[in-house]
Amino acid sequence: MSYDFLIEKAKEAREKAYVKYSNFKVGAALLGKSGKIYTGCNIENASYGATICAERTAFTKAISEGEKEFEAIAIVSSSDDITYPCGICRQFMSEFGLDLKLIFTDGHKIVTYKLSDLLPYAFTEFEAIKEV
C-alpha cells in the first residue's frame, strides 16, 4: 500500500510548525482506522519543556475527536535527513499499539518501520501493573 498521500499531508502540516527557537520544522499525518487523517506540527515554547512534537500533536487531535485506533503515521522534517520520533513520542504512540506503521522520508527515499522496531522494550500497561 502506498502512503504517499500521508507524506504529502505531513509536509503540509510541517509548514504550520511554530519553531521560533530551533527553526526545525516537523510535520506528521496520522491515519486512523476510520480512514480519517489527523495532522500535527511541532510547537515550541521558550521553556522548552512545554514544547510539543508533531507526532503527539497529531495523536492528541485524533484522540480528542474520539479516534483511538491507528494504522500509520508519516513524519517529515525540514532536515535533509530522515527524522525519527523522540523517545517521549515513541512511548506516547506505544499506548495505541506497537504495530503502528511509521513512514519516513528525506525527500528522496521512503522507509517504513513498525513502532515495535523503534521501541522494542516499550513500557506497557502490563509492566505498570506488574510493578504494583
Report how many domains make up the chain.
Answer: 1
| 127, pLDDT greater than 60 | no
pLDDT reported for residue 119: 96
Distances (CA, A) of 104 to 60, 73, 78, 118, 127: 20, 9, 12, 13, 29
**pLDDT, mean over the chain:** 94
pLDDT at 77: 98
Q: What domain range is 62 assigned to? A: 4-131
What is this structure's pTM? 0.93
Q: What is the DSSP string of 81-109?
A: S--PPPHHHHHHHHTT-TT-EEEEE-SS-
C-alpha cell at 130: 506488574
| Catalytic entry in 8, 55, 127, 131 | 55
Is 55 an annotated catalytic residue?
Answer: yes
In this prediction, residue 125 carries a pLDDT of 67
Q: Is the pLDDT of residue 32 over 90?
A: yes
Q: Each residue of 65-119: pLDDT tens digit?
A: 999 999 999 999 999 999 999 999 999 999 999 999 999 999 999 999 999 999 9
- pLDDT bin (cut points 50, 70, 90) of residue 123 is confident
> For position 98, which CATH number holds?
3.40.140.10
Give the per-residue pLDDT at 128: 54
